[in-house]
Amino acid sequence: MRVLVTGGTGFIGSETVLALLAAGHTPIIVDNLSNSKIAVLDRIKTIAGVRPVFYQVDCCDYDAFRNVFEKEPVDAVIHFAGLKAVGESVSKPIEYYSNNLVSSLVLLRLMKEFGVKNIVFSSSATVYGVPDRVPLSETDPVKGATNPYGETKVMIERILEDAYKADPSLNIALLRYFNPIGAHPSGLLGEDPNGIPNNLMPYVSQVAIGKLKALHVYGDDYPTPDGTGVRDYIHVCDLAEGHVATLKKLEAKPGLVVYNLGTGKGTSVLEIVKAFEEANGVKIPYVISPRRPGDVAENYANCDKAYRELGWKAKYNVTDACRDAYRFQQQNPNGIE
C-alpha cells in the first residue's frame, strides 16, 4: 500500500515508517518538523536502505497539504501528527486544540476530496479518563481526559465516528496507545524530547547518562503493590508493528474499529527503575516526591481484541525497552542532531 504518514518523522511515526518499509509498503511522510528533526530521514535510510518521500508541510495548511494529495496517490493514511505534551497543553490549550483538531479536519476534508477511504488514528489511553477498573477494554466508557491534549483525542475520535456515520464506506481504526517507550535497537531512532523530559523513560535515560541528577518518583503512596504508579509500557517497535497489522485489517473493510495497543501488563515506576538498572548495569538515583497532579494510580490495557482481530501482540518486555532506550540515549546524548 502507499501510505501517507503524518507526523512520520516523530518518535512513533519514524519507527512505523521502518515497519511499513519492512512489510513492503511505501510510506510518504508529511511533517512540519515542529517536534522532530529532518535528520531522522537519513537515519531511516541507514537502517532501511531507503529514504522515504518527505514533505515538510503543516497538516493545518490546506493548500500545502492538498499539493501532497495531488502529487501522491495514497491507499491509506496513518495520522500521527499532533502536539502531545500533557503539561504544555494545560498552559497552551488554544494551540493544542487548534493544531490537533484543525490538522485532523483538513486531513479528513482532503481524504474526502481525493477518495481516500482508510485511516489509522493515533489515539491514547487517556480517553478513558480515570479508570473505574483495570485492565481497560475497548468497551469501557470514554469518560474524557483531564487535560486539553487528551480532550483533543476524545474530540478527534468523535469526529471520526461522525465521519463514519455519514460515510460508511470509510475504514477507520482508532488505536489507543498505552505508554510507548524504548527505541530502535540500532540506537539510531528514539524519543527525542525538547528540554527536560516529562515522561518517565526519557527522564530515567537522561539520569543514566548523568545529564540529570536523580529521578523524581511522583508519589509512593498509591494503592499499588509498591505504592508507585503503574502503567502499561509498550516497546515502540511493537507499537509500530501494530500499525502494520491494523492496515492489513483495514484492507478487509471493517468499518470503524477500536483497539487498545499495550502489553496487558502493568509495571510500577520502581519496577522500571530496577529493570533499567539490571538491563544496563547502571545506577538510577531517585528521590520520592509528591504525586503529580492529574496522575492515576494504575492504568493498563486488556489487549485481547487486538490479538484476536489483528493477530498482533507485544513481543518485547520492559527490559528490552530499557536496554534500547539507554542505547539511544548514549548514542544521542543531545538528541538527534
Chain contacts with ligand UFG (rule: CB under 6 A) = 84, 86, 124-126, 150, 178-179, 198-200, 203, 215-218, 229, 231, 269, 292, 295
- Helix (H) or strand (E) holding 55, with range, is strand 53-56
Nearer to ligand UFG, 200 or 250 (CB): 200
Show the site string, 198-237: x = touches ligand NAD by CB under 6 A, - = not.
----------------------------------------
Q: How far is the CB of 305 from ligand UFG (least distance, A)?
A: 17
CB-count burial class (<10 Å; 0-12, 13-18, 19+) for 125: buried
Within 8 A by CB and 6+ apart from 288, the residues are 217, 219, 220
Residue 198 touches which of ligand NAD, ligand UFG, none (Cβ within 5-8 Å per kind): ligand UFG
60 forms part of the interface with ligand NAD (CB under 6 A): yes
Spatial contact of 294 and 129, defined as CB atoms under 8 Å apart: no
149 in active site? yes
Distance CA 181, CA 11 (A): 9
Residue 259 touches which of ligand UFG, ligand NAD, none (Cβ within 5-8 Å per kind): none
Show the site string, 140-179: x = touches ligand NAD by CB under 6 A, - = not.
-------------------------------------x-x
Residue 218 touches which of ligand UFG, ligand NAD, none (Cβ within 5-8 Å per kind): ligand UFG
Q: Of residues 52, 135, 148, 180, which one binds ligand NAD by CB under 6 A?
A: 180
Residue 118 touches which of ligand UFG, ligand NAD, none (Cβ within 5-8 Å per kind): none
Q: Which residue is nearest to ligand NAD (CB)?
A: 10
Q: Of residues 89, 124, 228, 268, which one binds ligand NAD by CB under 6 A?
A: 124
Give the pairing of strands 53-56 and 76-79.
unpaired
Query: From the candidates 149, 259, 300, 316, which is the catalytic residue?
Result: 149
Q: How far is the CB of 168 from ligand NAD (least distance, A)?
A: 25
Site of grid cell 502494520: 244
Restricting to residues 75-94, which ones interact with ligand NAD according to CB under 6 A? 80-84
Within 8 A by CB and 6+ apart from 23, the residues are 244
327 forms part of the interface with ligand NAD (CB under 6 A): no
Nearer to ligand NAD, 8 or 219 (CB): 8
Residue 86 touches which of ligand NAD, ligand UFG, none (Cβ within 5-8 Å per kind): ligand UFG
If phi > 0 it is left, if psi is from -120 to 50 it is alpha, else beta; for residue 210 that is left
Tell me: cis bond preceding 135? Omega within 30 of 0 counts. Answer: yes
Distance CA 120, CA 242 (A): 11
CB-count burial class (<10 Å; 0-12, 13-18, 19+) for 115: exposed
CB-count burial class (<10 Å; 0-12, 13-18, 19+) for 141: exposed
Helix ranges restricted to H, 228-313: 236-251, 269-280, 304-310
In 3D space, the residue among 131, 127, 130 whose CA is nearest the CA of residue 174 turns out to be: 127
- Helix (H) or strand (E) holding 89, with range, is helix 86-91
Restricting to residues 3-22, which ones interact with ligand NAD according to CB under 6 A? 6-7, 9-13
Q: Of residues 35, 246, 263, 280, which one binds ligand NAD by CB under 6 A?
A: 35
Instruction: Return residues touching ligand NAD (CB under 6 A).
Output: 6-7, 9-13, 31-36, 58-60, 80-84, 99, 103, 122, 124, 177, 179-180
- List the catalytic residues: 149
